[in-house]
Amino acid sequence: MTAADAVGPTGRGPVGRGGAGLLDLRPAPAAATRARMFAAQTRLELILTLRRGESVLLTMIIPVGLLAFFTAVDVLPSDTEKSVDFLVPGVLALAVMSTAFTGQAIATGFERSYGVLKRLGATPLPRSILLAGKTAAVLAVEVIQLVLLLAVGFALGWDPSGGAGAVPSVLALIVLGTAAFSGLGLLMAGTLRAEATLAAANGVYLLLLLIGGVVFPLSELPGWLRAIAEVLPTAALSDGLRDVLADGDGPGVRNLVVLAVWAVVTLGLAARTFRWE
């Protein structure tokens, strides 16, 4: 990213060699194109996410670590499948949750409390593009996670079912899951104090990691807890991915419905309740 990128298409203004005192301050107000704003927003959001150490830990290192660890120790009760085949879909679901929910909630919560959202609200940037940039950055991080986790999975002997036909189902699940988790994250970030968001987002992350069918199947849970877990988005996402990638089936209507309901409800609530400052 160079300064030249950000200079207007006209490149007006006697800047550069002349040094200080030669800025052309005469008014020339106009909003940039939406595409340019979107690109700039996405790029900075992505850079900032990848720069935050805790975010990389949460979205990259923990999922990869869990995948490698549980593959090695093989805690799975069933002998009918390789543990890596069970684990990859679960860890993919965890990765989506960590990026779309936990990371986004914490970052957005602090941006709100630091006045970033207020400040950007005073520029020509529409809020829709601000949010679109966030979403695009989340999706970009998810692509990196996906590549990383699939590579590690294959290295560990992962053998997915379904072949190329699984790709649309996987994408549908990830997109719906991203929407549901983003809604939940933005709902928190837009209403709670930043510190409360930080605590709650981490707590929910841990809870959903444990009862989300990520590293062990829901069937290990007591009946009542399992009933709760099955309507939570993490279990729906991990279960759906597992249906596709481990069993070679479709994503499961129930899983898609659970994710869609979470997405609609949380995004709707977030849109109503979000406070920008």
Partner 1 sequence: MAEILAVSVTGLVKTYSAQSGPSRSGPSQSGPSRSGTGRAEGSRGSGRRGRRASAAPTLRPAPFAEVSTTPATLAAPAGRGALPDGRVRAVDGLSLSVPVGSVTALLGPNGAGKTTTVEICEGFRRADAGEVRILGRDPIADAVALRPRVGVMLQAGGMYPGARAGEMLRLVAAHHRHPLDPAALLDRLGLTDSAGTPFRRLSGGQQQRLSLAMAVVGRPELVFLDEPTAGLDVAGRRTTWELIEELRTAGVTVVLTTHAMDEAERLADQVIIINHGRVVAVGSPAELTRGGAEGQLRFRAPTGLELGKLLLALPDGTTAREGPVGHYLVQGTVDPQLLAAVTAWCAGNGVLAEDLRVEQRTLEDVFVELTGSELGS
Q: 109 or 233: whose CB is closer to partner 1?
A: 109
Please calculate the CA angle 8-12-15 and round it to the nearest 5 degrees: 105
Q: 2 or 80: whose CB is closer to partner 1?
A: 2
User: Least Å distance between CB 25 and partner 1?
Assistant: 4
Cβ(76)–Cβ(83) under 8 Å?
yes
- Positions touching partner 1 (CB under 8 A) are 1, 3, 5-10, 12-13, 15-16, 19-33, 36-37, 39-41, 44, 47-48, 51-52, 110-111, 113-116, 118-126, 194, 277
Query: Both tokens of residue 118?
Result: 């207020």
Going from the C-alpha of 55 to that of each of 115, 128, 131, the distances in angstroms are 21, 24, 19
Q: 27 or 222: whose CB is closer to partner 1?
A: 27
Q: Give residue for tokens 């005073």.
A: 122
Q: Give residue for tokens 């720069």.
A: 51
- C-alpha gyration radius of the chain: 21
User: Least Å distance between CB 186 and partner 1?
Assistant: 17
Q: 131 or 265: whose CB is closer to partner 1?
A: 131
User: Least Å distance between CB 94 and partner 1?
Assistant: 24
Burial class (CB in 10 A: 0-12, 13-18, 19+), 110: middle
Q: How far apart are CA 203 and CA 205, in angstroms?
A: 5
Q: 58 or 209: whose CB is closer to partner 1?
A: 58
Separation of first and last alpha carbons in the chain: 29
User: Least Å distance between CB 130 and partner 1?
Assistant: 10
User: Least Å distance between CB 131 and partner 1?
Assistant: 15
User: Least Å distance between CB 109 and partner 1?
Assistant: 11
Q: 69 or 114: whose CB is closer to partner 1?
A: 114
